Structure 1
Amino acid sequence: MYSVLLLCGGVAGVTTVLFGFGGGFVVVPLLYTLLISVHGPDSGIGQAAMHIAVATSTALMVFAASLSTWRHHLRQTVQWHLVRPLVGYIAVGAVLGAAAAVSLSGEWVRWAFIGYLGITIADAALRPGFLHQAGSDVRPMGVG
């Protein structure tokens, strides 16, 4: 079992480095499957397996984003005047998202995750620059 976790952790790291996303796409299904396998689908943990998997992935993302933000802050590369107006909207979105997740069954959360996964993959595949080069009229942000 530990070798499977090690392998999946490696895949999550590689996909994150290569594509800029991927950790949660590997970790959430892995944790879900692992929790169901170990505890059974009818146990309390089995019934909450999707909630636990998504919450674990979210906690890791919050930690990583906080660490990254702190490091950028120390390098003075965060434009706080652009970030501050968004803080309230982010907080409201987080509270609404958490309330929605708690009110939904694990099956709904699982299908929402599958839908999100599909949309993200389609976006990455269809957006210029991921599978094919963007046209010459596309400029980096801030270049006018």
Structure 2
Amino acid sequence: MLLLVLLLVGFAVGLATVLFGFGGGFVTVPVITVVDAGLGGDAVRVAAASSALVMVVNALVATAATRRDVLDRLRGRHALLALLAVGGAAGALAGRFAPDALLRWGFVLYVGATVVDLVVRPGFLRPAVAGRMALPGRATGLPTALGLPIGTVSAFLGVGGSVMTVPLMRRAGAPMPVAAALANPLTAALAVPALVVALLARGASPAANGLVGGVDVRSAVALLAGSLPVVVLLRRRPPRIPDAVHAGGYVVLLVAAGATVAVVG
């Protein structure tokens, strides 16, 4: 029964990866927190580490299936990708030793603050100025210097970088499909080193069946089995969704993820 639930949730993870660029972080953290609730306070730590595995695979597959003209916007942004990777490793290592309450409520507060910002401040759900144009050429709206803090915070909480990168690109004029597509390679850049740290540095994570380092591999693989077919299919045949509805769905998913982790806590 649990396997079926994880496969169904994996389907939702695939949708989140393609439509919102999450790579799965905002879905997998709440779900694995529930699955591993028997670990007590360590559940959210294991969930954050396990989400890195799901994010890496989903983000890489989604990136491989993304149109080249979209990915060209990241050409020459090696410094940004490098800083994301450094931040991802640092955040994941810090998360291995952080108190569980800090990880859990940090996740909830992070999501809550983001939702308020997206709803109240113009530029995400509604244009900041009339007649906003899409990002031209290879622009992304992401300053290189932000790579380090984005990578660190994202890996520390296990949420992936899209919650920062997608709003920044939206406010620079990117439509949701472009922002979500570019969020996948950016997420992969920070999630790969975060995953390596999670596998090698147990830190305060418990010793339990099914864990490799701090990663619940069995749950992560089940989620991937449900998500990967969706990622491949929808990247090849993306659905056409009105931009306002697309952006609204992003906010709704953030609310659901934060509420789940808060309730489980």
TM-score w.r.t. structure 2 length?
0.42
Q: Of 97, 105, 113, which aligns to 1:111?
A: 105
C-alpha deviation, 1:83, in angstroms: 2.0
The answer for the alignment partner of 2:53 in structure 1 is: 59
Aligned-partner Cα distance in 2 for 1:16–1:4: 18
Larger Rg: 1
Amino acid at match of 2:44: M
Amino acid at match of 2:99: S
SS of corresponding position for 1:48 = helix
Aligned-partner Cα distance in 2 for 1:71–1:15: 15
Q: Of 61, 78, 81, which aligns to 1:84?
A: 78
- Residue 137 of structure 2 corresponds to residue 136 of structure 1: no
In structure 2, relative to structure 1, the CA distance for the partners of 1:100 and 1:20 (3 Å cut) is: same
Amino acid at match of 2:134: P
The answer for the alignment partner of 2:32 in structure 1 is: 31
SS of corresponding position for 2:108 = helix
Gaps of 5+ in 1: none
C-alpha deviation, 1:6, in angstroms: 4.8
Amino acid at match of 1:25: F
For the Cα contact (< 8 Å) 1:25–1:117, is it kept in 2?
no
For the Cα contact (< 8 Å) 2:24–2:55, is it kept in 1?
no
Gaps of 5+ in 2: 138-265
In structure 2, relative to structure 1, the CA distance for the partners of 1:14 and 1:128 (3 Å cut) is: farther
Q: How many residues are matched?
A: 135
Amino acid at match of 1:53: A
Aligned-partner Cα distance in 2 for 1:80–1:7: 33
C-alpha deviation, 1:134, in angstroms: 4.6
In structure 2, relative to structure 1, the CA distance for the partners of 1:46 and 1:18 (3 Å cut) is: same
Amino acid at match of 1:111: W
Amino acid at match of 2:89: V
In terms of mean alpha carbon deviation, does 46-55 or 4-13 score higher? 4-13
In structure 2, relative to structure 1, the CA distance for the partners of 1:136 and 1:61 (3 Å cut) is: same
Amino acid at match of 2:27: V
TM-score w.r.t. structure 1 length?
0.69
Amino acid at match of 1:91: A
- Residue 100 of structure 2 corresponds to residue 99 of structure 1: no
SS of corresponding position for 1:61 = helix
Q: Percent identity?
A: 38
In terms of mean alpha carbon deviation, does 90-99 or 134-143 score higher? 134-143
C-alpha deviation, 1:71, in angstroms: 3.8
SS of corresponding position for 1:57 = helix
In structure 2, relative to structure 1, the CA distance for the partners of 1:83 and 1:138 (3 Å cut) is: same
Aligned-partner Cα distance in 2 for 1:128–1:23: 26
- Residue 76 of structure 2 corresponds to residue 75 of structure 1: no
Aligned-partner Cα distance in 2 for 1:66–1:5: 21
Deviation digits for residues 73-104 of structure 1 (CA, Å, limit 9, x no counterpart): x8364355432122331222112101211120
C-alpha deviation, 1:59, in angstroms: 1.9
